[in-house]
Amino acid sequence: MGNLRTASFTVRATTEQALRFNRAAQAEGYASTGAWLGTAADAYLKMRARAGLPLPLVWGKGRVRVDLEDGSTVDLKGWRARPFGFYRGNPSGPGLKGRHAFTLVYLPDRRPLATFRYAGQCKALAAELAGPLLRGMPSLDPERITERHRREAL
């Protein structure tokens, strides 16, 4: 088996929670409570996705590669939370600071999905679209969800 990359977390719990966590881990045959907590957290996120609830996405600054309306492909400064990114500007290209236009991009296709007045609207749409992607939706066709977000943004 190849190298397995891991991360460590510290979990704060009450004494009662810790007892419940330890019992559950032992009952399910886990070697450690931490391993059980990791599996439980994954199951929780998958359940949220199946229920159609928005997933929490972690955004950070980065480059967003996008196919613009004129057919060119550019790398723009923006924010990323795979598989999404957004940048200041519209599908024609980057915008100026102080201009209110932010475009959400589906990174695997480099395809602009929607342009909004505020960055938070891009984040909200991405969180809602992340659920169907986790459920294995074969191709991203966000038009219905995107249209509702556009209406609500007015």
Kindly tell me if the per-residue pLDDT of 113 is higher than 60.
yes
d(CA 30, CA 76): 45
Lowest mean pLDDT among 25-29, 49-53, 63-67, 138-142: 138-142
pLDDT band at 9 (very low <50, low <70, confident <90, very high): confident
Tokens of 107: 């990174």
As a dihedral over the C-alpha atoms of residue 73, residue 103, residue 63, residue 96, rounded to 10 degrees, the angle is 90
pLDDT band at 110 (very low <50, low <70, confident <90, very high): very high
Q: pLDDT exceeding 70 applies to what percent of the chain?
A: 79
Q: Which residue has the higher pLDDT, 52 or 93?
A: 93
Strand locations in the chain, DSSP E? 60-67, 73-81, 84-90, 93-94, 102-106, 111-116
Residue type, 26: Q
pLDDT band at 68 (very low <50, low <70, confident <90, very high): very high
Residue type, 115: T
Tokens of 119: 């960055």
Strand partners, 66: 74
